[in-house]
Amino acid sequence: MKFCIALWGAALAAGLLAATAISVDATQRDSNASPSIRRVEAFTPLTSMRIKPLEPSKWTDKHREVLGPSGGPTQVQVCLHNLELCRKYWAFTTQLTTYYTLPLRDKELLILRTAWLTRGDYVWGRHSTGGGKKAGITDEELSRITTGPDAPGWSAFDATLLRAADELHTGRFIKDATWKSLAARYNEGQLLEVIFVVGNYTLLTMYHNSVGLALEPGIKGLPE
């Protein structure tokens, strides 16, 4: 009887050791795997605007300076309710949309991945049909952007760009390996631009989503 109990105890101990080894091995594998990237929490899109564009009857010369001769897009007309904030912010975002130094394709990959992660329907719609098409991003690549940097088919540097957007989204920090890969191609000014592009379009999606800015008819937003 004592012999049987001893054998059972030895078997139990061996089983626990084996289970522990498997658990440790699995933990080590998980720690080496790429973490899944979570998009921002889903929300119900607004069906009407919370803030309407500032009425033209209220425009002053300072408002018209911000709008330009064409009257400006709806997103600018809305922000005119806070004139000084709008004037200074739109000068900043115009720097990134008009006077950027990154290659256009690189910038659009950063923007589109950020739009996907932040549920920026307006940004995705405008850039998937506008800047993205101009940069030569294909429909197949648009679909791959929603999968992320580990999707098969990306070049090493395209994957690095998407990973930079992911890291800024999840940790507000570009990790050393990603930074070094970017720095192999970009100068210091362009490295800064990567951060500001992702940050700016994150801010724009918060603005568009929260005020209820809708895409123009015929422009398709985020894929389901």
Give residue-wise pLDDT tens across range 143-155: 999 999 999 999 9
First to last CA, the chain: 65
Categorize the per-residue pLDDT at 2 as very low, low, confident or very high, splitting at 50, 70 and 90.
Answer: very low
Q: Decide: 90 and 79 in contact? Cβ < 8 Å.
A: yes
Produce one character per residue of 149-178: b if its CB has 16 or more CB atoms within 10 Å, e if not: beeeebeeebbbbbbbbbbbbeeeebeeeb
Whether 82 contacts 168, CB under 8 Å: no
Length of the chain, please?
224
Mean pLDDT, the chain, whole residue set: 88
Distance CA 203, CA 224 (A): 22
When pLDDT is cut at 50, 70 and 90, the band that residue 35 belongs to is low
* Band of residue 36 on the pLDDT scale cut at 50, 70, 90: confident
Average pLDDT over residues 1-10: 43
Angle between helical axes of 188-211 and 104-117 (0-180°, round to 10): 40
Range 157-183 average pLDDT: 98
- Cβ(175)–Cβ(120) below 8 Å: no
